[in-house]
Amino acid sequence: MNKENMNLVERITAPTPKWFRVLRTIGLALATVGGTIIATPVAIPAAIVTVAQYLVLGGGIISAVSQTAVQVEETTTE
């Protein structure tokens, strides 16, 4: 697979390295925690809501970038 000529769909569906799968899971967890805090029906301080919004943003970015990482097979040239 030639990683220089991949379009976005090919890149997202290509195999992801283990480290980036771990990062993607962490990003999804951060976004979930932030979304849960934002959606709470009780009144919470504005600072906590602001931190939760940054958690959602950061988690989403980490997940998106990690999903586009591509595992490249090593080829030996002899």
SS3 39: coil
Task: Output the pLDDT for position 3.
Answer: 59
Residue 16 is encoded by which pair of tokens?
A: 């992801």
Whole-number Cα distances in Å, 14 to 20, 61, 68, 78: 12, 19, 8, 27
Task: Output the pLDDT for position 78.
Answer: 58
Q: Tell me: the pLDDT tens digits for 3-43?
A: 567 788 888 788 888 999 999 999 999 999 999 999 998 99
Task: Output the pLDDT for position 68.
Answer: 85
Extents of the domains making up the chain: 3-67
Task: Specify the higher pLDDT residue, 58 or 78.
Answer: 58
Residue with tokens 């962490």: 26
- CA–CA–CA angle 21, 26, 30 (5° rounding): 145
